[in-house]
Amino acid sequence: MLKGFLFSWIIGFYLVTIAVAQEDQSGFISIDCGISAGSNYTDIITGLSYTSDVGYVSGGVNKSISPIYQTNALERQFLTLTSFPIGTKNCYTLTPAQGKFGKYLIRASFLYGDYDGNGKLPVFDLHIGENYWDTVTISNASIPIRKDIIHTPPNDSIAVCLVKTDTTSTPFISALELRPLNVTAYRTVLNTSSLELYARLNLGSLTNQSYRYIDDVYDRIWMPFQWDNKAIINTTQEVRENSYRVPSVVMSTAVTPDPLIATGDSVSFAWIAENMTDKYYMYLHFAEVLELQVAQIREFNIYVNGNLFYGPVSPIYLSTTTIYTMSPGIGTGRYDVVINKTATSTLPPLLNALEIYREV
């Protein structure tokens, strides 16, 4: 079960395929905090090019995590960090090429690694511009934390700020990344609203590994989700993208009800809202991965808290369709999503990938 979910919404869908590539990292800003001024490198795993944070922020102290946390499995960006012992609010200034006319995925990453030798796990706030984004709560010195937000700035520059909330914790940051998105995707009721990532899941993964750039041209990180009592179906062929550009490696697998287990003909999940006033946006990504026979039909309806959200849906073979929220509702503490086969469908529903965001 996912932790928390939806209400009454206006919905939409995206089907049009596009073919523009972004493998050149055009518009990317990739900052490895804590490396020396003038330093830069290309990450051998992702191929992403990182640079020092000098010039993006004033103040701060370069630090390295304790050697006992420096394992071979740790990504290079987490070996160093910038700490801010002085000042209540310290801000990075990002100036993307598209400025206020763009929409961006911004990711802030943190690994404490007992860099200060205090052994005291920090807590501090993260702001985007003047708005509260989230609280960074370090609960384990060895586990990285990533915070993703989709943001449309009101100005040509973007401030990402670390805010001290008490005198015992010192804010720090390991990496800061910005990626341009398609401006027609991830729309909100107010274009000034930002979307904080709640969940981004690759369903039916055969490798149980996460995917990001270069598989995902926007460098979203897709986490594998193992779903009990579900069968996995897949294809080895390429799945065409739409404007959300979910990578083929994610869309080529899907979960569906296991025919060997009497769990009905539905795919369902739920989550609990952290606050009754929270607004959630949902993006469900579908693609048929099996070449159906003439007599076979896969058709389903999507329900949220017992109300029809969208349907009927008939996924297209090897082509992505995204069903998404345009205007979320509020006022409910629990969200239940059920995807049911229709009366005329001969096959159960499927789901390839999902994203959930909370409006900030």
Q: Which of 136, 161, 181 is the last residue of a domain?
A: 181
Band the pLDDT of 15: cuts 50, 70, 90: low
Percent of the chain beyond pLDDT 70? 93
Q: Which residue has the tokens 């800061």?
A: 176
What are 22-76's pLDDT values in tens digits? 468 999 999 999 999 999 999 999 999 999 999 999 999 999 999 999 999 999 9
Q: What is the rounded CA–CA span in Å between residue 28 and residue 341?
A: 41
Q: DSSP labels for 63-105?
A: EE--GGG--TTS-GGGSEEEE--S-SEEEEEE--TTGGG-EEE
Does residue 81 have a pLDDT over 80? yes
- Regarding whether 130 and 68 lie in a shared domain, the answer is yes
Residue 283 lies in a domain: yes
Top pLDDT among 167 and 139 is at 139
Q: Which of 135, 152, 181 is the last residue of a domain?
A: 181
Residue 188 lies in a domain: no
Closest to 193 measured CA to CA, from 317, 314, 278, 125: 278
Tokens matching residue 15:
């089907």
Predicted pLDDT at 22: 44
- Regarding whether 244 and 169 lie in a shared domain, the answer is no
- Regarding whether 160 and 124 lie in a shared domain, the answer is yes
Q: What is the rounded CA–CA span in Å between residue 325 and residue 18?
A: 21
Tokens matching residue 47:
């191929």
Q: What is the rounded CA–CA span in Å between residue 80 and residue 71?
A: 13
HSE of 49, CA atoms in CB hemisphere, 13 A: 8
- Regarding whether 162 and 310 lie in a shared domain, the answer is no
Does residue 329 have a pLDDT over 90? no
- Regarding whether 146 and 35 lie in a shared domain, the answer is yes
Tokens matching residue 91:
């801000």
Residue 61 lies in a domain: yes
- Regarding whether 215 and 173 lie in a shared domain, the answer is no
- Regarding whether 233 and 119 lie in a shared domain, the answer is no
Closest to 199 measured CA to CA, from 284, 109, 301: 284
What are 343-359's pLDDT values in tens digits? 999 999 999 999 999 99
Tokens matching residue 198:
């709640």
88-116: average pLDDT: 97
CB 51 within 8 Å of CB 204: no
44's CB contacts (< 8 A; 6+ apart) are none
Residue type, 352: N
HSE of 191, CA atoms in CB hemisphere, 13 A: 11
Count of Cβ atoms closer than 10 Å to residue 201 Cβ = 21
Predicted pLDDT at 264: 73
- Regarding whether 99 and 236 lie in a shared domain, the answer is no
- Regarding whether 106 and 79 lie in a shared domain, the answer is yes
Please report, for the domain that includes residue 15, its CATH number. 2.60.120.430
Residue 297 lies in a domain: yes
Does residue 7 have a pLDDT over 50? no
Residue 24 lies in a domain: no
Q: Is 116 helix (H, G, I), strand (E, B) or coil?
A: coil
Please report, for the domain that includes residue 119, its CATH number. 2.60.120.260
Residue type, 36: S
Predicted pLDDT at 13: 55
Does residue 95 have a pLDDT over 50? yes
306's CB contacts (< 8 A; 6+ apart) are 336
5-18: average pLDDT: 46
Residue 187 lies in a domain: no
- Regarding whether 280 and 138 lie in a shared domain, the answer is no
- Regarding whether 55 and 33 lie in a shared domain, the answer is yes
Count of Cβ atoms closer than 10 Å to residue 243 Cβ = 18
Band the pLDDT of 261: cuts 50, 70, 90: confident
Band the pLDDT of 226: cuts 50, 70, 90: confident
Write down the pTM of the prediction: 0.93
341's CB contacts (< 8 A; 6+ apart) are 265, 266, 298, 299, 300, 347, 348, 349
Residue 37 lies in a domain: yes
Q: Helices (DSSP H) in 180-329: which residue ranges?
A: 248-251
| 231 class by beta-carbon count within 10 Å (0-12 exposed, 13-18 middle, 19+ buried) | middle
- Regarding whether 157 and 279 lie in a shared domain, the answer is no
Full residue range of the structural domain in which residue 348 is found: 10-19+193-359
Q: Count structural domains, the chain.
A: 2
What are 156-178's pLDDT values in tens digits? 999 999 999 998 999 999 999 99
Does residue 263 have a pLDDT over 80? no
